[in-house]
Structure 1
Amino acid sequence: MYEFKGKSIIIAAPNHYGLLYRFKENLEAIGFDTIAIPDDINVSIGIKNQVIHIIKKIFTKTKSYKREKKIEFRTQKQIDLINKELITKYDYVLVIRPDLFSNHLLQSLKSKSNVMCAYQWDGLDRFPSVYKKIDFFDRFFVFDEDDLNKSENVLPITNFYFDDINPKNNTIDAYFVGSFMNDRINLLLNLSKKLHELGQKLSINLSIGYSHKFKNLNPDLITIIDKPISFKTNLINSSQSKIIIDFTNEIHNGLSMRVFESIGFRKKLITNNILVKKFDFYNSKNIFVIENNNLEGIDHFVSNSYEDLADEIYQKYSFTNWITTVLSK
């Protein structure tokens, strides 16, 4: 039994679709006193700095002044969020995507914490500025296995599922939300068509951006979304689905959050990420792996019931266990 009641933590993370506050809510649900530091605080650099930026841009060809001032002002607002609290020393700091935060802020966070940890949500090489941030942390985690060979100061960990949201009864059969990608659109269309033919009630949600040629997709199969679905809403939708659909991003060599959400919500999973076969939770009755775009056997998979896993598996991949691992020295 984990005991976090009364422990204090600062969580700094990208606020993409409310991700930061998902962390905050789950941390508070398991007992932490939590301060959340977003990466996207709006700042204005003022007229004087706007004029200086224009002058530098014209006469010295320097284009970075405006960006640097915004970083400076945003950092100060982030530090102010911490300093307004009565706590002078926090038990922990956890930073998700440290490449998004200034060195000045990281140094301030380090001075205010007993243990400072990081998790690089994306691959190291995707945002290479993160390499210069690693030494700020007591423990620095990555989920991409390939990243373990790129720095001797990183530790392996998988993703997880937020365990403060309970599984719900199924209201839809198959659920997907994601952005348009050329390398997976045809597979998504073929899978959606096949599931529709099998009588499945679909919620396939696609953000297509500027991919105009796909705007006339069959509305019985695909819902085009113009506004992003919040992280929490997406989790609730997943929890109400019989099957969660996951497509791998080729820039990563690891398992996405959707895989672990299928574990936590006790839902079936359709994925093209063959790495799932290496894990202790893999069960062909629960997970259909698409290899070489082959959907053969999916009718049998859809008709089968979900098979419960051992209790230890659900505990192992929970957020509670994940945060315990990350923060433990």
Structure 2
Amino acid sequence: MYEFKGKSIIIAAPNHYGLLYRFKENLEAIGFETIAIPDDINVSIGIQNQIIHIIKKIFTKTKSFKREKKIEFRTKKQIDLINKGSISKFDYVLVIRPDLFSNTLLSTLKSKSNVMCAYQWDGLDRFPSVYEKIGFFDRFFVFDENDTNKKENLIPITNFYFDDLKAEKNVIDAYFVGSFMKNRINLLFSLSRKLYKLGQKLSINLSVNSSDKFKNPNSDLITIIDKPISFKNNLINSSQSKIIIDFTNEVHNGLSMRVFESIGFRKKLITNNSLVKNFDFYNPNNIFLIENEKFDGIENFINVPYENLPSEIYEKYSFTNWIKYIFNI
């Protein structure tokens, strides 16, 4: 697994549910010396700057001073993380969601690396401030293939599965975790009831914000979670399930991480994302595609054994291969 022993990398990414450190762990598992830079370092601007912010807000109608100071202080802490080690020049830098990081930090990362790449795994227009960041990078990858038409030299890439975690013994039949979305909640209810009637042991977990006016009519089937499940624990749960459930987010045009987790863990997948049919790993014995919100044939799908894919498919969508493609190694 130590294919990249002797190489160094900085990974800067949103630390949503511990995602950044999931990257770090897998990078270290394949040999990289790794520094992780979170987007969400807590900072305080101090009493003096708080007073200045209030004065500017009252007398000049300027409301951005506090935000700008937080960015300044956070950037300093992020740069301190880079400089605290003994490495003066890193082999690689990878930035996930570069719109979350300051130009000052990106300039520092550029000066500290031989190759610097980015991956915007949300659509460019969803966070348009990312456009001004593209020029910092040697290679810039996008999740949504349609985004390649919006600016030159953008490279499409899929998601991947973290390959340092292995599948475990199944303890449940079907697993889902996700946020409440009005446009897909009825489908989740219908699927849960269908699977339950077919005798499946379910773990259906739904995160609901306090602002969502939602009552759970299926509390026996669906668990409302008030604390997020960490990214790593979510992967462990997926690895212990026979089937992973995936619902597409309409703001995205691509395949979610869950699709690739099902490949890596060699699990079955139930999804409503029709894009899966376009990929080389699509096998109707392994992937049940919900079309027109119908479940015709799902009982047979559940009972048919998982079919192993060619070994090159598992390698193609692994994190290790994804890193090689990102940096053209």
Q: Shared fold by TM > 0.5?
A: yes
Matched with 2:247 is 247
Q: Which runs of 5+ in 1 are unaligned?
A: none
* Alpha-carbon distance in 2 for matches of 1:269, 1:211: 31
| Kept after mapping to 2: 8 A contact 1:173/1:200 | yes
Following superposition, the deviation at residue 299 of structure 1 comes to 1.0
Matched with 2:293 is 293
Matched with 2:45 is 45
% of aligned pairs identical?
A: 80
Matched with 1:83 is 83
Following superposition, the deviation at residue 213 of structure 1 comes to 4.7
* Alpha-carbon distance in 2 for matches of 1:73, 1:2: 36
SS in 1 for 2:260: helix
Matched with 2:146 is 146
String of CA shifts for 1:284-318, please: whole Å, max 9, x gaps.
00000011111111111111111100000000000
Following superposition, the deviation at residue 216 of structure 1 comes to 3.3
| Kept after mapping to 1: 8 A contact 2:189/2:218 | no
Count of residues in correspondence between the two structures: 329
Matched with 2:168 is 168
| Kept after mapping to 2: 8 A contact 1:115/1:327 | yes
Q: Which runs of 5+ in 2 are unaligned?
A: none
Following superposition, the deviation at residue 156 of structure 1 comes to 1.0
SS in 1 for 2:126: coil
* Alpha-carbon distance in 1 for matches of 2:108, 2:6: 22
Q: Does 1:56 align with 2:65?
A: no
Amino acid at match of 1:221: L
* Alpha-carbon distance in 2 for matches of 1:41, 1:212: 28
* Alpha-carbon distance in 1 for matches of 2:257, 2:140: 19
Matched with 2:281 is 281
String of CA shifts for 1:179-222, please: whole Å, max 9, x gaps.
00010000000000000000000000001113665333322210
Matched with 1:314 is 314
When residues 10 and 212 of structure 1 are mapped into structure 2, their CA distance, relative to the original with a 3 A threshold, is closer
TM-score normalised by structure 2 residue count:
0.98
When residues 211 and 286 of structure 1 are mapped into structure 2, their CA distance, relative to the original with a 3 A threshold, is farther
String of CA shifts for 1:40-64, please: whole Å, max 9, x gaps.
0000000000000000000111100
SS in 2 for 1:125: helix
SS in 2 for 1:280: coil
Amino acid at match of 2:207: S
Matched with 1:130 is 130
* Alpha-carbon distance in 2 for matches of 1:136, 1:196: 51
Runs of 4+ in 1 over 6 A off after TM superposition: none
Matched with 1:25 is 25
String of CA shifts for 1:220-264, please: whole Å, max 9, x gaps.
210000000000000000000000000001111100000000000
Matched with 1:207 is 207
Amino acid at match of 2:251: I
TM-score normalised by structure 1 residue count:
0.98
* Alpha-carbon distance in 1 for matches of 2:204, 2:83: 44
Q: Does 1:95 align with 2:106?
A: no
